[in-house]
Structure 1
């Protein structure tokens, strides 16, 4: 009886020790401050995105970038069509096209994939702003563009 009790304690100790070693969780859309709102039409997704910056313009740009980061690199788990990211491997993507996101944002290429964007709601004060922005993004056209640029593979290839 005593041996069984000691064995049980040993097993419980091992199980507890194994549970305490946690892996770093993957970054998610919600970590980026992006929340799924609805799918207003086929191939469109409406999200709320939060961005931060020293100026209102920087905060608004950050909110837009975070929305595209979520769709491209993290996926939107609450929406089946985007439950996985458009880009399966962010590291390989960045190796292949290191300046893509910078150019995508600075040259306003993202605008062709927006079908709606709200005026941002700002909070904060001088030097530290937070932008809350609602965007509707045509993820299917974005996927096609990435395929045409050779940055992601077409389904089934």
Structure 2
């Protein structure tokens, strides 16, 4: 005897919404012609959360990826002038990653693109529905670090 799968359709809706969000954000990024991939965008946003330039290992941990993946992303962003590698003042063997002025400008553009994508995605919802959705999402992502939660 099989039991009904009550959560299956909901899980499928969440996955479809996630794919839609990624598609719309990617389109908004491409319209701005920043030459930044979604993964590079995520690294720049993560980098901006650090008060001091982080090590590659710190970025890998925050992004929950292997360090090699961060190296590849940093290589691309460094080549385009968005980040730079700098020696740690306390230990010159340690390399830290910092945003450049071009990186900060790109980050502002990325934020604008994300806001435009969010407006497009949330357009069918009333203010009340948005508030409820925000509360539900806070509940679902409650185990995330505070910097990842909405304000």
Choose between structure 1 and 2: higher helix proportion. Answer: 2
Q: TM-score, normalised by structure 2?
A: 0.25
Bigger CA radius of gyration: 1
Q: TM-score, normalised by structure 1?
A: 0.24
